[in-house]
Amino acid sequence: MAVASARNLAAGSGTVSTTSGSKVLTFSSAQSLKEGAAVIVDPSGSPQYFTIDSGAGTTWEAMQNASATVSGKSFNTSDSTTTRARGGSNTVIIPNAAHFMYRATVDDSSNPDWYFYFDTLFPETGLHPYTKDQYTGQMWASSAAVAAFIPDVLTRVRILEGVVRGSAGSTTSADKRIKDLCTRITALETWANSTGHFGTPPAVGSDPTYTLNNLLSYGDAQ
């Protein structure tokens, strides 16, 4: 599904091969890729999502491990032109990757505007490496199959406490994960402060886990 604020990707030149569990991407022709460049392997088939760490020529290392072994697949990658076009059909949020927000004073048609878009390309001296627009912030995407952005730590704590959760929950009812921790700490403190530490310590907690849908329903990644 297209991501409205993501800068458009471009069709890659040649093909690429991957090995399951490896970060190495082997291209059929030499590439010129900058740090953070997106590489979407087999975008029309069974896509794998990567961002570039380093490399040269036909051999590059990604920041994510390959989930499958494939050979000679087409790929999409970050556009190396000055285009600011965003929200195209090939735009994605890449799991386990940093995404950088950029601000321009003109839109994708060069009309005056307060124009924002995000890209996985790392800023260089505070600017987008190709458009030269100002870098304004960074967020990480979750590792889920359908990636969602992880808020900065202060926003995340407020969300977990229910302060800015809005329609996803009550602003007066703490998030379940925070409540679980507080309940456990209170039980341990009650036992530890009992006279002479007598009595039976509280039972071991259930160590609950949460699915992506749970986290989104609690207000994460808003």
Tell whether 169 and 198 lie within a shared domain.
Answer: yes
Q: What angle do CA 162, 141, 33 make, to 5 degrees?
A: 160
Mean pLDDT for 188-202 is 70
Mean pLDDT for 29-55 is 97
Q: Which residue has the tokens 């202060």?
A: 154
Tell whether 85 and 102 lie within a shared domain.
Answer: yes
Tell whether 46 and 136 lie within a shared domain.
Answer: yes
What integer pLDDT is reported at residue 167 of this predicted model?
45
Tell whether 68 and 134 lie within a shared domain.
Answer: yes
Mean pLDDT for 145-169 is 63
Beta-sheet strands, E only, within the chain: 9-11, 16-18, 24-27, 38-41, 48-56, 59-62, 70-73, 75-78, 98-106, 112-119, 134-141, 149-150
Tell whether 106 and 77 lie within a shared domain.
Answer: yes
Q: Which residue did the predictor score with more confidence, 1 or 100?
A: 100
Instruction: Say whether pLDDT at 43 is over 60.
Output: yes
Give the number of domains in the chain: 2
4 lies in some domain? no
Name the residue range of residue 169's domain. 153-217
Tell whether 92 and 188 lie within a shared domain.
Answer: no
Mean pLDDT for 4-28 is 97
Mean pLDDT for 211-215 is 62
Query: Sorting pLDDT into bands at 50, 70 and 90, what band is 143?
Result: confident
The answer to whether 123 and 100 have CB atoms below 8 angstroms apart is yes
Q: Of 103, 130, 149, which residue sits at a domain end?
A: 149
What 8-state DSSP symbol labels residue 163? S
